């Protein structure tokens, strides 16, 4: 992959303390882009990670900057977007990557846990999109990248709350694809398959233990399923998470006319076929509403 002759873009990425976010930040910076890597609490619990990113930037002479960003706090979002635009005068790409994953008996998650899941995976991107879109509109150019999941298209038992957050994210991202099409702003979705990142390891357990107890032996099913995933991640069939970062880089550097709405990264459990089958149905809906001109690649 080469960025030769491609202009450098100012890119803000959320959730860069690990996984896809960190890989994407490093890869885009190495491609010559100006990258602001959002890390929550970079001077506290994530200070080691922030230091590693800063060391990499100095050692490889990368235009890579760590910013303190909590996607659940509007003040944090406004401060970071304000700082980046003050320094650079623009934001060309936003990568909504930060996420958490609740895996367990759905009923046993408390309302507060459900709210937290939605705050990070859905409301955070909504607020970030709203913060950067005015800048992109003034530029008449910009790209919103939403890192979703196969669980944004398929329902995995015991991933119910996580699926709900990603289904919601996909809906808002696709709506923006159409509504912003005449403003020069594009919106796309990346759907990673199963990868051995820290999402599963950091999955919070259901907080309502009384509800959980009512499921008896079934309450162990989610843990057994997660154990099978971990075994898969350690096998030769596991896919390198770098493929997600590479897919995001391609979307960033692709022309708007060629850029697909959805990109599946890694194993897909049939989601690529699902997306292909859904395209003409969605296009037919737009045509029925007299809005077919809102799809930039149709």
| Catalytic one of 165, 166, 181, 187 | 166
**Per-residue pLDDT averaged across 138-156, rounded?**
96
Assign 292 a pLDDT band (cuts: 50, 70, 90): confident
Tokens 């959002």 locate to 38
pLDDT at 2 > cutoff 60: no
The residue that leads in pLDDT, 231 or 68, is: 68
Q: Catalytic annotation on 158?
A: no
Residues in contact with 124: Cβ distance below 8 Å, sequence separation at least 6, in sequence order? 14, 71, 72, 77, 96, 98
Assign 89 a pLDDT band (cuts: 50, 70, 90): very high
Q: What is the mean pLDDT of the chain?
A: 92
| Catalytic one of 36, 109, 158, 162 | 162
Q: What pLDDT sits at residue 298?
A: 55
Interval 158-200: pLDDT, tens: 999 999 999 999 999 999 999 999 999 999 999 999 886 566 6
**Per-residue pLDDT averaged across 22-32, rounded?**
97
The residue that leads in pLDDT, 5 or 215, is: 215
For 53, counting Cβ atoms within 10 Å of its Cβ (0-12 exposed, 13-18 middle, 19+ buried), the class is buried
Rounded alpha-carbon distances, angstroms, from residue 128 to 41, 182, 286: 18, 20, 27
Percent with pLDDT over 90 in the chain: 83
Radius of gyration of the chain (CA): 19
Interval 100-118: pLDDT, tens: 999 999 999 999 999 999 9
Q: Catalytic annotation on 165?
A: no
Q: Catalytic annotation on 109?
A: no
| Catalytic one of 9, 36, 148, 178 | 148
Interval 198-235: pLDDT, tens: 666 678 889 999 999 999 999 888 888 877 777 766 76
Interval 41-54: pLDDT, tens: 999 999 999 999 99
CATH 1.10.1040.10 describes domain 10-294: no
Residues in contact with 41: Cβ distance below 8 Å, sequence separation at least 6, in sequence order? 47, 68, 70
Q: Catalytic annotation on 162?
A: yes
3-state DSSP assignment of residue 95:
strand
What distance in Å separates the CA atoms of residue 76 and residue 145, rounded to the nearest whole number?
20
């Amino acid at each position: 992959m080469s960025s030769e002759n491609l202009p450098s873009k100012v890119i803000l990425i959320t959730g860069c303390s690990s996984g896809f976010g960190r890989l994407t930040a490093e890869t885009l910076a190495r491609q010559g882009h100006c990258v602001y890597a959002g890390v929550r609490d970079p001077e506290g619990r994530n200070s080691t990670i922030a230091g590693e990113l800063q060391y990499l930037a100095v050692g490889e002479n990368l235009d890579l900057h760590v910013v303190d960003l909590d996607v659940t706090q509007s003040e944090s979002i406004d401060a970071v977007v304000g700082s980046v635009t003050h320094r650079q005068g623009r934001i060309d790409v936003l990568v909504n990557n930060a996420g958490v994953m609740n895996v367990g008996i759905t009923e046993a998650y408390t309302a507060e846990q459900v709210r937290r899941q939605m705050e990070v995976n859905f409301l955070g991107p909504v607020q970030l999109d709203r913060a950067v879109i005015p800048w992109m509109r003034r530029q008449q150019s910009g790209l919103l990248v939403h890192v979703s999941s196969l669980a944004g298209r398929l329902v995995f038992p015991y991933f119910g709350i996580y699926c709900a957050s990603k289904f919601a994210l996909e809906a808002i991202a696709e709506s923006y694809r159409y509504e912003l099409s005449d403003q020069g702003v594009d919106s796309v979705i990346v759907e990673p398959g199963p990868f051995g990142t820290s999402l599963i390891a950091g999955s919070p357990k259901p907080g309502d233990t009384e509800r959980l107890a009512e499921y008896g032996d079934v309450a162990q099913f989610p843990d057994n399923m997660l154990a099978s995933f971990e075994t898969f991640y350690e096998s030769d069939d596991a896919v390198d998470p770098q493929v997600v970062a590479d897919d995001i880089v391609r979307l960033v550097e692709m022309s708007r006319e060629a850029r697909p709405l959805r990109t599946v990264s890694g194993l897909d459990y049939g989601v690529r076929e699902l997306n292909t089958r859904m395209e003409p149905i969605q296009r037919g809906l737009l045509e029925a509403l007299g809005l077919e001109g809102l799809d930039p690649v149709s």
